[in-house]
Amino acid sequence: MGRWYTRPMMFVTDVDAAAAFYVDRLGFAEAWMFRDDAGRKFVSQVDRDDSEIILSGQWPDKVGKGMLFIELTAPDWQALPAALEARDVAFRWGWWGYRTLIVADPDGNELYFPDPEDPGGGPA
């Protein structure tokens, strides 16, 4: 059937500010962007490793409603809290059937990083 590929879209109020958060605070790189006739950035894609996220300033009614799971290797997941603290990125611990670290972007879109060593099913 071939390879399936996906690029999630997160809706944001300010694409420049959102892209800066993903690049400067989470270590993504801006792959491309589009500007409107007034020169305002309204769509951007940020990449990190195999993750690509489109940030869109369109459809304001969808801002802050995104939820994205990002899977890491066990060593990368274990190092994640310290790496986020070093970049002054707030996070919280959550539960989605297994232990999960959650980061919210400036608009409230959430990135879920599940613990790859948690078999799930335990107490929240």
- pLDDT by residue (tens digit) across 78-95? 999 999 999 999 999 999
Q: What is the pLDDT of residues 9-40, one digit of tens each?
A: 999 999 999 999 999 999 999 999 999 898 88
Q: Is residue 30 a part of any domain in this protein? A: yes
**CATH number of the domain that 45 lies in?**
3.10.180.10
Check whether 43 has a pLDDT greater than 70: yes
At residue 53's C-alpha, the angle toward residues 52 and 55, to 5°, is 150
Q: Is residue 73 a part of any domain in this protein? A: yes
Q: Is residue 3 a part of any domain in this protein? A: no
Q: What does the pLDDT read at residue 3?
A: 82
Burial class (CB in 10 A: 0-12, 13-18, 19+), 98: middle
Q: Which helix (H) or strand (E) holds 83?
A: helix 74-86
The domain in which residue 110 lies consists of 9-114
The pTM of this model reads: 0.90
DSSP-derived letter for residue 25 is I
Q: Is residue 70 a part of any domain in this protein? A: yes
Nearest to 46 by CA among 8, 85, 102, 90: 8
Q: Is residue 55 a part of any domain in this protein? A: yes
Q: What does the pLDDT read at residue 123?
A: 60
